[in-house]
Amino acid sequence: MSQQQSNILEILSGLHASADNIAHFDEDWTQGRSAFGGIASSFAVTAMRKLLDTAKPMRSLMVSFIAPIPPGEIAVTAQILRQGKNVTQMSADVVSGGQVALQAMGVFGNPRQGLIVPAQHDVIFKPREQGIPFADHSRRLPSFLGYFDGCWVDGGLPFSGTSKRHLAMWVRHRADLQDFRTEKLVAICDIPPPVVLSYFDTPPVPASSLTWSLEFLVPPERVEGDWFYLDYQVESAAEGYTQQSGRIFDESGQLCALSRQCMVYFG
């Protein structure tokens, strides 16, 4: 990773300060021809949050990846679709080269009193000390992972030829994103590659997300700690498309978010 490249804090801070919602990123944040989906989605989140008159936690995010976003300048246009007493719904377009490349819808909602059904899970957390660090597979991984600390602790590695339906990993940002806690979690949730890549033994196998749905069980602003445990599973793969779901936990074992993606692969 080049020392001249901007980290995610610098990029999002520039976008937040821009009156025109302009940001710049470079090729270290790409995977293949396009920006890493986690940072591209964070552009939309930052622009939407700027429109809130009072802080509201993000409850869900829906993203459609329309076209590649090459490194360089992007612009974000965001608008409020409906603002109620408790819930605000918004949309945002990430524009690259004059074309809409990503569309997002975000739902922000104040907490309300009501029925509580605690989240349950059967995940057994594997310790980081037993994992395989990202750096040990740097030749097979996109360069943006250099901005994160992380390791695989269970399931199939990409291009391992192990035909695993499941993977688990620990990940944290190297940058301090205390002022961008929602974007911090959004970017982390998109770290896992298509789980189906473990079925292949020789790279490259081009793959990318088509749509992504993310639901927050805990307001991102209330999530403490920097390390996250990601537990992801491929649900199906056929005819060049694959669906996978994921659960994202904080260091304390609290289930923070649910992820679901439809992806395309060529292999």
Residue 116 lies in a domain: no
CATH number at residue 200: 2.40.160.210
Residue 119 lies in a domain: no
Q: Which domain holds residue 172?
A: 8-111+124-265
Quote the pLDDT of residue 139. Answer: 65
- 65-97 pLDDT tens trace: 999 999 999 999 999 999 999 999 999 999 999
Residue 2 lies in a domain: no
4 falls in which pLDDT band (50, 70, 90)?
A: very low
- 124-173 pLDDT tens trace: 999 999 999 988 876 667 889 999 999 999 998 888 899 999 999 999 99
Q: How far apart are CA 209 and CA 47, in angstroms?
A: 21
Residue 1 lies in a domain: no
Question: H-helix or E-strand containing 45?
Answer: helix 37-49
Quote the pLDDT of residue 3. Answer: 39
| Structural domain count, the chain | 1
Helix (H, G, I), strand (E, B) or coil at 174: coil
- Using alpha carbons only, give the angle 35, 40, 45 rounded to the nearest 5 degrees: 175
CA distance between the termini of the chain: 28
CB-CB contact of 250 with 224 (8 Å): yes
Classify 253 in phi/psi space as left (phi over 0), alpha (psi -120 to 50) or beta.
left
Residue 224 lies in a domain: yes
Residue 113's contacts (CB-CB under 8 Å, 6 or more residues apart) are: none
Residue 226 lies in a domain: yes
